[in-house]
Amino acid sequence: MTLEYNNGVQKQFLQLVAGLVGLLAFSGVVAEPAEYQLGIGLLNFEYTEYGDGTNTYNIDESDDNVFLDAETGLIPGIIFKRKQYHATFFTELETTLHGNRINYDGQTQDGVPVKTDSIAIIFDGNIKIGTKLAGKHEPYLGMGYRYWYRHIQNGRDNTGRAVAGLLEHYRWFYWLAGYAADFRASDTVSVGYDFRYTKMMNAKMDIDFLGFCGYDDGQVNLGNESGARISLPVKIKTTKHVVTVTPYYEMIDIGKSNIISLTRNGNLVDCDLDGFFDGALEPRSETRNIGIEFTWLW
């Protein structure tokens, strides 16, 4: 992992923390007591990359509909939320952290199928400000940050040939706009919905080749695409707490990256001896997640 990568992550993280602290400090002025929720979740992760099937470095993605690789699996997580109402608006902080070993189904550069495991750690945090309308309707705006640690493990292709692993760090900020509502079903149960649109900003991916061919670490700029999330929270009131069960569906698209030259000790390299200097890009991808959250309010 390069020093430049560490400095970039630290700078973005500190900026996000400063924003969170400022918003939460402001939200404590003339406000109702804050509501805190802590919980667990389970994410059915489905990520797929697509190319044009030519194994060439073509930046145009209009024909990128050929399957390249996929990662799928169940990922458990933890959830923390803080919400505070004011006379005319509310503020909310949401954070989630998921992690597990999942399945990788892909191929080598020459198209030979490969199956192995991948370690996935996904952090997502956002802050929102919104207004509460009549009938428990709440439009809101906000900003978030997402980080995905993706460590594809060493494996073998279906001919038995050893295939090197790869470590990638995805990270981006995103804007969000949403609309939530809550409806009373009984004295102890309410049902709602929360629809959210997201737009990525400054998306990047850092690559660690883990010593393969002696490549230096690299970084690409990812295509900033849109996403969406819809959830259906069901709140159940007990004598002491409020338990919320929230199924959700999430869509995240990532556009194809720019092309970078690969180097060894700062020099261009032709590792496969094909007469061309080596390069890399990140294909376009689609993530389609189904999940459920269980949180307790106190």
Instruction: Report whether 248 contacts 231 (CB < 8 A).
Output: yes
pLDDT at 57: 55
DSSP 4-45: HHHHHHHHHHHHHHHHHHHHHHHHTTT-PPPEEEEEEEEEEE
Q: Which two tokens stand for residue 42?
A: 């389970």
Q: What is the pLDDT of residue 111?
A: 83
Contact 69, 115 (CB under 8 A): no
- Please enumerate in sequence order all residues whose Cβ is within 8 A of that of 127, keeping only pairs 6 or more positions apart, or say none: 19, 20, 23, 91, 92, 93, 94, 142, 143, 144
Q: Quote the CA–CA distance of 242 and 248 in Å, as a whole number.
A: 19
Integer Cα distance of 10 and 13 in angstroms: 5
181: domain CATH number is: 2.40.128.100
Burial class (CB in 10 A: 0-12, 13-18, 19+), 162: exposed
For the entire predicted model, the pTM comes to 0.87
End-to-end Cα spacing for the chain: 40
Query: The tokens of 249 are what?
Result: 């569906």
Spatial CB neighbours of 67, under 8 Å, sequence gap ≥ 6? 48, 49, 50
Q: What are 213's two structure tokens?
A: 């061919």
126 and 142 in contact (C-beta within 8 Å)? yes
Both tokens assigned to 10: 């630290």
The tokens for 257 are: 């990256």
DSSP H or E stretch at residue 3: helix 3-27
Whole-angstrom Cα distance, residue 260 to residue 204? 13
Q: Locate tokens 């080749």: which residue?
A: 209
Closest of 178, 200, 121, 146 to residue 9, by C-alpha: 146
Domain that holds residue 92: 3-297
Structural domain count, the chain: 1
What pLDDT score does 54 carry? 67
Residue pLDDT tens, the chain, 298 long? 344 444 555 566 556 556 655 655 555 555 678 999 999 999 999 999 998 866 555 555 556 788 999 999 999 999 999 999 998 899 999 999 999 999 999 988 788 999 999 999 999 999 999 998 987 899 999 999 999 999 999 999 999 999 999 999 999 999 999 999 999 989 899 999 999 999 999 999 999 999 999 999 999 999 999 999 999 999 999 888 899 999 999 999 999 999 999 999 999 999 988 889 999 999 999 999 999 999 999 7
Instruction: Specify whether the CB–CB gap between 116 and 76 falls below 8 A.
Output: no
